A and B are shown apart, each in its own frame.
Chain A
Amino acid sequence: MFRRFAVLTFLACFLLQSARPQSSEPFGGRVFNAQSKRGIANLEVRLRPPRGSGSPIMIGNTDQNGVFRFSQVRPGRYLLEVSQGPYVLYRAETDTSKVHNIEIPIERR
Chain B
Amino acid sequence: MPLMLLATVLLAIGGVAAYANAHRLIDVVSPISIFVVMFGFMLANLLIREEMQRKALESDLQLQREQAAKARGEMEAARRIQLGILPDVESQFLRESRLDIAARMEPARLVGGDLYDCFMLDEHRAFFAIGDVCGKGVPASLFMVISKTLCKSLALRDEAAQVDPGALMRRANLEISRDNPEMLFVTAFIGVLDLRTGEVSYCNAGHDRPLVFVPGSAPRELGGARAPAICVAEDFEYRMHRQQLTAGEFLCVFTDGVTEAENLAQEQYGKARLDSVLSGIDPGATARELLDAVCASVHAFAAGREPSDDLTLMVLRWKP
Q: Do A and B come from one complex?
A: no
Q: Which of B's residues lie within 8 Å of A, judged by CB?
A: none
Q: Which of A's residues lie within 8 Å of B, judged by CB?
A: none
